[in-house]
Amino acid sequence: MGLIVQKYGGTSVADVDRIRHVADRVIQTVEKGDQLVVILSAMAGVTDKLLDLASQAAEMPDKRELDVLLATGEQTTAALLAITLQARGYPARSLLGFQAAVLTDHDFGNARILEVGTQRILDLLDKKNIVVVAGFQGCDLQGNITTLGRGGSDTSAVAIAAALGADMCEIYTDVDGIYTADPNVCSRARKLSRVTYDEMLNMASLGAKVLQIRSVAFAKKFNVPVHVRSSFSEEEGTMVVNNDEAGMESLVVSAVTHDKNEARITLKKVPDQPGIAAKIFSPIAAAGIVVDMIIQNTREEGDTDLTFTVPKSDYARALKIEEKIAAEIGAEQVYGDRDIAKISVVGMGMKNHSGVAATMFNTLARENINIHMITTSEIRISCVVDEKYAELAVRVLHTAFGLDTEEERD
C-alpha cells in the first residue's frame, strides 16, 4: 500500500460533471489499496471572477480580505468532491488550508509555505478516509487566511506530499505531460517520458507553464517524484525526477521554450563608476519588480550602456522609475521595447557537450532572426529576439536540435 497525493487543476474540476470524473479516478486509486490525499484548484475561471468582484467593490481591495475571498474557490471544489465521494459510498473529508496546517508567511496574495503539519491528515487516513485539501491556500502565524499566488495549488500538492513522505505526487492537468516545446507553436513537439528537476526548474522559469516553479523547487529539495499527466486520458505522462534517475538517454537539449511576457529597458551612456548599478536596480527591487536578464556594454569613452528585462506587466512602472534614476546619475537616454520574446534551449546534456550555443546562433542567423541579448547557465541558453519571430525561432531550433517527431501531429 502506497501513499499518493493527487492534484487536479481548474479545468479538471470545471463543473460537477468533471468533478464526478475526478471522483472516478480517485476511486480507481483507492481500489488499488493506496492511501490518497487529493489537492484541488478552484473551478476554471472562478478566481478571475472573484478578482473582478473585488475590483467592483473597491479600486484597491485590502490584500488580507482579498485572500479570504479568493480562498472560497478551492473551498467549493474540495467540498463538492468530498460530497461526491461520500454519495458513492467512499469516506471522504475535506480540509481547508488552515485545517490541513499549511503554515505560511504573511505575504498576502503570494505567501510562501513555511511548514505543513501532518497529524490531522494522517489521522484521517488511518481512519480510511480520502482526504481532500483545498489547494492554493494556508494561514499565517496570526491565523489569517493566505493564498500562494498563481499556480499555488501545485505548490500545495508538492509541499503536502513532501511533508507526508508520499510515494508519488501526481499533477493532473489539461495536458498529457511535458513536451519538447509548446505543441500549439511547434506541431512536431513530442512528449518527454522524464525530465530532471533542474531541467523543469529552468523550463518553468523560461516560459513553460505546465508546472509552477515553486512546486518544482519543493520537489527537488525534498526529492518528491512528480508525475505530470492528463485528467482526460489514461496515458502515462512525464515523470519529474532527480538527476541520478534521468538515465543514460539524456538529450543534449531536452526542450525549447519561449516567453512573450518580457520587455527590455536600456539606459544609454551610464557613468561607469562603482555604485551606479546599485542606484539603477535598488529602486526596481523596492518596487517589487523582478529583473531577469542584464547586459552591460562598456564604451571606450568611459561610460556604458545597460540593458535589462522585466515582466511586460511591470514595464511602464519600471520605465518611469529608470527615467527618474537616469536624470539623477547623468545617463544620456532611457528607452524600452515591449515587443520582444525570450527563446531558450534547456538540457542536462549541455553540461558535457560543446557547440550548443553555436548551433543556436547559426540556426537563428539562417532565418535572419537578430539576437538582442544572451544569457547562459550550465544547462540553458536564452536569447532575446523580436516577438514577431518567437514562434519561428522555436520551430527551427526544435528541428536543429533533433527534437522533432518523425511525423507532424494532426
**Mean pLDDT of successive 10-residue stretches along the chain, which has 410 residues:** 93 96 96 96 95 94 96 97 98 97 94 95 97 97 94 94 96 90 91 90 78 88 93 90 62 89 94 90 92 85 88 94 93 93 91 87 96 91 96 96 65
Question: What is the residue range of 7's domain?
Answer: 3-174
In this prediction the pTM is 0.84
One-letter-per-residue 3-state SS of 269-306: EEECCCCHHHHHHHHHHHCCCCCCCEEEEECCCCEEEE
Residue 131 in domain: yes
Closest-CA residue to 6 (of 30, 18, 20): 30
Residue 170 resides in a domain: yes
Helices (H), 188-249: 197-205, 213-222
Q: What is the CATH number of the domain that holds 58?
A: 3.40.1160.10
Is the Cα dihedral 250, 235, 158, 207 positive or negative? positive
Under 8 Å between Cβ of 197 and 240: yes
Burial 239-252 (b: 16+ CB within 10 A, else e): bbbeeeebeeebbb
Q: How far apart are alpha carbons 26 and 6 in whole angstroms?
A: 8
Q: Looking at the domain assignment, is residue 374 inside a domain?
A: no
Is residue 386, in this structure, part of any structural domain at all? no
Number of domains in the chain: 1
Q: Quick one: pLDDT at residue 37?
A: 98
Q: Can you give the three-state secondary structure of 118-144, one letter per residue?
A: CHHHHHHHHCCCEEEEECCEEECCCCC
Q: Is residue 107 part of a domain?
A: yes
Q: Are 342 and 382 in contact (CB under 8 A)?
A: yes
The answer to whether residue 325 is domain-embedded is no
